[in-house]
């Protein structure tokens, strides 16, 4: 795969400090650009999920539980897959359970755990939402070629790895 590169000419071959400064400036641009793109993306997703009156984190939990299938997931495991802390997950699940989108029950094998499952209503809500979410992905990709989109995914993966440490 070829990554499209913006050519930048340096008129003055510079000292090491100047080159470091240039790299650092690119890092700052990347930080700003990443936050801005993610903010716009979050707003689009929020607009989509808002139609069903659920917040993006709630949607995220439902997606995770759909992926878990019939096996269900313990509460804190959901928290691990989102990068969110434990106490918030409980209340988030409380709200979803109150709307019958999620079901919880004590695990019989390890009675400390509470297993969470998505309900048929939850699955149905997700299926109503999927087209809107896909549309956001399509919009995101609309200004990129296929190769560029794949390059973006690759670069973002590398960035995430570097930031996760």
Partner DNA sequence: TAACGATAGTCGTTATAACGAATATTTCGG
Partner DNA sequence: CCGAAATATTCGTTATAACGACTATCGTTA
Task: From the list a second copy, DNA, none, pick the one residue 11 interacts with, judged by a Cβ distance below 5 to 8 Å according to partner type.
Answer: none
Is the distance from CB of 2 to CB of 147 less than 8 angstroms?
yes
Give the bridge partners for 115, in sequence order: 74, 105
| Contact string 50-89 vs a second copy (x = CB under 8 A) | ---------------------------------x------
Among 88, 120, 137, 157, binds DNA (CB under 7 A): 88
Among a second copy, DNA, none, what binds residue 94 when CB lies within 5 to 8 Å by partner kind? DNA
Element spanning 73, H or E: strand 73-74
Residues 89-128 that bind DNA (CB under 7 A): 89-95, 104, 107, 109-115
Does 134 engage in binding with a second copy (CB under 8 A)?
A: yes
**Among a second copy, DNA, none, partner that 114 touches (CB below 5 to 8 angstroms by kind):** DNA
Burial class of 89 by CB neighbour count within 10 A (0 to 12, 13 to 18, 19+):
buried
What residues from 93 to 122 belong to the interface with a second copy (CB under 8 A)? none
Among 6, 15, 16, 53, binds a second copy (CB under 8 A): 6
Whole-number Å distance between alpha carbons of 17 and 128: 54
Site string for DNA, 22-61 (x = CB under 7 A): ---------------------x--x--------xxxx---
Residues whose CB is less than 8 angstroms from the CB of residue 118 and which lie 6 or more positions away in sequence, other chains included: 62, 65, 66, 68, 101, 102, 103, 126
> DSSP class of residue 3?
P
Torsion angle in degrees (nearest 10) through CA of 30, 31, 33, 39: 150
């Amino acid at each position: 795969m070829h990554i499209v590169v913006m050519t930048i000419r340096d008129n003055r071959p510079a000292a090491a400090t100047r080159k470091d400064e240039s790299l650092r400036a690119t890092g700052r641009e990347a930080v700003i650009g990443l936050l801005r793109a993610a903010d716009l993306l979050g707003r689009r997703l929020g607009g989509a999920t808002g139609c069903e009156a659920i917040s993006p984190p709630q949607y995220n939990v439902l997606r995770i539980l759909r992926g878990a299938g019939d096996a269900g997931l313990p509460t804190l495991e959901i928290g691990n897959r989102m990068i969110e802390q434990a106490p918030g997950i409980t209340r988030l699940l409380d709200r979803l359970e109150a709307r019958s989108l999620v079901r919880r029950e004590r695990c019989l094998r390890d009675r400390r755990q509470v297993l969470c499952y998505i309900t048929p209503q939850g699955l149905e809500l997700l299926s109503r939402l999927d087209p809107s979410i896909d549309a956001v992905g399509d919009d995101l990709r609309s200004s990129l070629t296929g190769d560029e989109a794949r390059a973006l995914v690759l670069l973002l993966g590398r960035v995430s790895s570097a930031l996760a440490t």
